[in-house]
Structure 1
């Protein structure tokens, strides 16, 4: 792989869109339909948080709205975590598979919408994570319901990151009032400068 085709962040190899493998997936397979066509920045804010608040080795972690799954791969690689990546769009998983192979980790996969995940599906997870997943007003209710179910399932911590879009801030406000969630200002400089917020809910 030529350097201009990929980059390293947090010890992960991340392929650029012009890499031959990504171009092959893009040209030969169905296109993701729910904004799953690239790596979004908020996942890197969660990675930065987890480097400072390290999960126990072997933790069970669920990433919701995983897209290309770099956050899942980071958790599997750095914390030896047992990770399940879920997304409503089945077409994102080819990109996740490519990055899993290159980064030498295995990630379980599940196609599901937020509202399809039940309390029993969330039991046993220490962390539920999601970056850039609350970008439409109509996502606030199903994500609030998902956080509520995760709290009832006694998930240790739920972390959702966003640059600060109004739907996310509405979700954060509701979670602060209902579950004592905390809205943290967060900023990173790699792989690029991203300013935003982390919603952290502990159950």
Structure 2
């Protein structure tokens, strides 16, 4: 969330959150940045939780029970940003996410932001994006450290940022 607080999201943008379960990035963007948000969830039973949070925060969300590989080009063509937190926790997801990122950027998505606490699969995804995405796309990996209020230890993670130049 600390990165999203600093991130200049265009007013009334369309964001797709592909995080599994929590949808916190999308909910934050809907609340703090007035983004139109689609939450793509493959975890059974997530919808009531996400609808409750959207209701409490007075955010309209478009919930889709789906997976990253099933996101349509029609949705991507109307999307400005894709966001995710902790979605690349298994090696088996790397190719699926990379294919989505290729399709998204080819469809006109402006930027993709994926945060992760440092999973090995995420490192592989970052490496693949750095070396295999077209050169006209900007790929950056930013390390972030956040001091949580009730924790003695700071939390460090990384954000993969893919941008259309």
Provide the TM-score with structure 2 as the length reference.
Answer: 0.89
Structure 1 segments, 4+ long, off by >6 Å, are none
Q: Determine which structure has more spread, i.e. the larger CA radius of gyration.
A: 1
Correspondence for 1:196: 157
Shift of 1:190: 3.2
SS in 1 for 2:49: helix
Contact 1:57 1:81 in 2 (8 A): yes
Contact 2:20 2:43 in 1 (8 A): no
Shift of 1:120: 2.6
Q: How does 1:1-203 map to 2 (within 5 A)?
A: 47-179=1-133, 180-190=138-148, 193-203=154-164
Shift of 1:66: 4.3
CA distance in 1, matches of 2:72, 2:51: 25
CA distance in 2, matches of 1:163, 1:132: 7
Provide the TM-score with structure 1 as the length reference.
Answer: 0.73
CA distance in 1, matches of 2:75, 2:59: 23
SS in 1 for 2:89: coil
Q: Which runs of 5+ in 1 are unaligned?
A: 1-46
